[in-house]
Every structure is written in C-alpha cells, then in structure tokens.
C-alpha cells in the first residue's frame, strides 16, 4: 500500500480514529491512561501503573504490545477487556522467573520476573495475594483494579478501620493545557485529569475502596499472621 503525503498530513480527529492513529504513530505516554489516553496521575485506589518489564499483554493496544503505563481504575472496571487483564495480572503476581512468548510468538521467548506472591483468598469480587518475603499484600478486583497493602493496613483492617493510601509523595507532571491549577481543590484537579472514583471523595490520603469480602478475610487473617519483617514498626 502506498501512503500519499496528503493522507499523512490529515489532522488527528477526536474519537476512536484518533486513538488508533496515536497507537500506530507514536509511542504511548506512560503517564497517560493506556485505555482512554488522557492524563492518569497515580492516585492509590483510583489509578495505578504497570511497568513494561512485567511483560503483561496490553489488551487495549491495536497490535501485540506489552502494557507500559498507567490505568484509570474507572476505565479498567468499565472495560470489556478487563477479564484478559485480570488473568494476566494475577498470573504475573504469582509467577516467579518464567518465560513468556515474544510479541509475535516467534522464538526466543522473553524472560520476566513475577512477584512470586501466593494467593490466599479467592472470592466472587476479588482475589488476595500475599508476599512470602515481606509484609505485603495485593487485593485485585475481578474487574481489574488492584490495591497494595502493607502491614499497617492489615492492622487497620483488623481493627475495623479503612486503610488509607500511603502518605508518600508521587511526583506527576501535569499537562500543560490544564490551566488554573492553583485555584482547584484536589477533587477538581483529579476530575480535570479524568480520575473519577465511585467511592468516597479522595483526599491526599484516600480511603482504599476494598471489597467487603477482602476486608472480612484480611481481618481474620491478621489475627494469625506472623510478620516476615519488622520494618513497619521501625518507622512507626
Ligand atoms: Zn482512562
């Protein structure tokens, strides 16, 4: 097929055509949501990212690709392709050192390190995974969104409290065209960036919207859990 200069010079149009065009001609911006292609700051409980070296297949890409970038949890939960992501993501959580097929399926295969976690709960809404080497857990909703928990979070859940997102700073470069950021509340800012949760309104330490079945399981689990490390106490 021959592309003329005129056809290449066509302006990008909004809507699905634009997404397709971006996918083919530009490297995706890892700061953008890989589903809707709008800015996606990392806000625990509302948006998180998958690094390219995890070698998780990108079900939203127009051609075989590995996911590399952020995902709005709202986009993920609404996507009809989230079962594919859920299967790939939860497999990676459990996997150790393993080979995965290259993007075009031809040898040699690629090697990746999974997180080596073990599944400790499987319910109708989510699965829960536990690290064997540190006091870390991951709750993954069957619709895709995932939540990282530390020992202090497990203690909160055991005491009937809702764990809050970490109080750490996550740098994020705001898009140039946002305007008027100084006058925005956090909620307005997140909304302008397309991050809309369905749960409680976010604050700088947002309550983590865990499924009830995960909270119930983890509250019991905390009673018998033996810590692997005591690093959380050191920083408490
Ligand atoms: Zn999105």
Cα distance between the two ends of the chain? 64
187: CA distance to ligand 1 center in Å? 16
**What is the CA(221)–ligand 1 centre distance, in A?**
33
- Rg of the chain over all Cα atoms, to the nearest angstrom: 20
Name which of 124, 168, 155 is nearest 227 in CA terms: 155
pLDDT value at residue 125: 97
Cα 232 to ligand 1 centroid, rounded to whole Å: 33
How many whole angstroms separate alpha carbon 177 and alpha carbon 41? 15
CA of 226 from ligand 1 middle (Å) equals 38
**pLDDT tens for the 236 residues of the chain, in order:** 333 333 333 333 333 434 444 444 456 677 899 999 998 888 888 899 999 999 999 999 989 999 999 999 999 999 999 999 999 999 999 999 999 999 988 888 899 889 999 999 999 999 999 998 999 999 999 999 999 999 999 999 999 998 887 765 555 656 666 666 667 777 777 777 766 655 554 555 677 889 999 999 999 999 999 998 765 555 54
123 Cα: distance to centroid of ligand 1 (angstroms): 26
Distance 194 CA to ligand 1 centre (A): 7
Angle 190-144-142 (CA atoms, 0-180°, nearest 5)? 135
Looking at the DSSP bridge assignments, the partners of residue 140 are 127, 146
Model confidence, pTM: 0.73
Q: Give ion ligand 1 contacts, CB < 5 A.
A: 33, 35-36, 72, 75
Give the DSSP per-residue string, 42-95. --TTTEEEE-GGG--B-TTSSSS-B--EEEEHHHHHH-TTHHHHHHHHHHHHH-
Q: Cβ(170)–Cβ(42) under 8 Å?
A: yes
How far lies 61's CA from each of 46, 67, 76, 82, 208, in Å? 21, 8, 14, 13, 29
> Are the CB atoms for 56 and 92 separated by under 8 Å?
yes
Distance from residue 22's CA to the centre of ligand 1 (Å)? 15
Write out the E strands in 143-234.
Answer: 146-150
How many Cβ atoms sit within 10 Å of the Cβ of residue 78?
13
């Amino acid at each position: 097929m021959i592309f003329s200069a005129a056809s290449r010079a066509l302006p990008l149009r909004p809507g699905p055509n634009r997404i397709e065009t971006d996918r083919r001609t530009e490297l995706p911006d890892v700061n953008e949501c890989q589903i809707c292609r709008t800015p996606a700051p990392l806000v625990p409980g509302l948006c998180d990212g998958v690094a390219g070296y995890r070698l998780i297949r990108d079900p939203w890409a127009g051609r075989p690709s590995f996911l590399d970038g952020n995902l709005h949890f709202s986009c993920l939960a609404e996507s009809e392709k989230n079962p594919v992501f859920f299967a790939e993501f939860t497999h990676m959580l459990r996997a150790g050192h393993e080979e995965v097929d290259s993007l075009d399926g031809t040898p040699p295969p690629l090697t990746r390190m999974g997180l080596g976690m073990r599944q400790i709960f499987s319910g109708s809404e989510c699965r829960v995974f536990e690290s064997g080497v540190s006091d870390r857990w991951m709750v993954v909703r069957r619709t895709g969104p995932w939540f990282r928990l530390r020992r202090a979070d497990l203690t909160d859940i055991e005491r009937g409290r809702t764990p809050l997102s970490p109080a750490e700073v996550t740098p994020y470069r705001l898009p140039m065209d946002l305007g008027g950021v100084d006058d925005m509340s956090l909620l307005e800012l997140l909304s302008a960036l397309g991050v809309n949760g369905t749960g409680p309104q976010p604050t700088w330490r947002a309550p983590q919207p865990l499924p009830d079945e995960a909270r119930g399981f983890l509250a019991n689990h905390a009673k018998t859990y033996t810590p692997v490390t005591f690093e959380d106490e050191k920083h408490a």
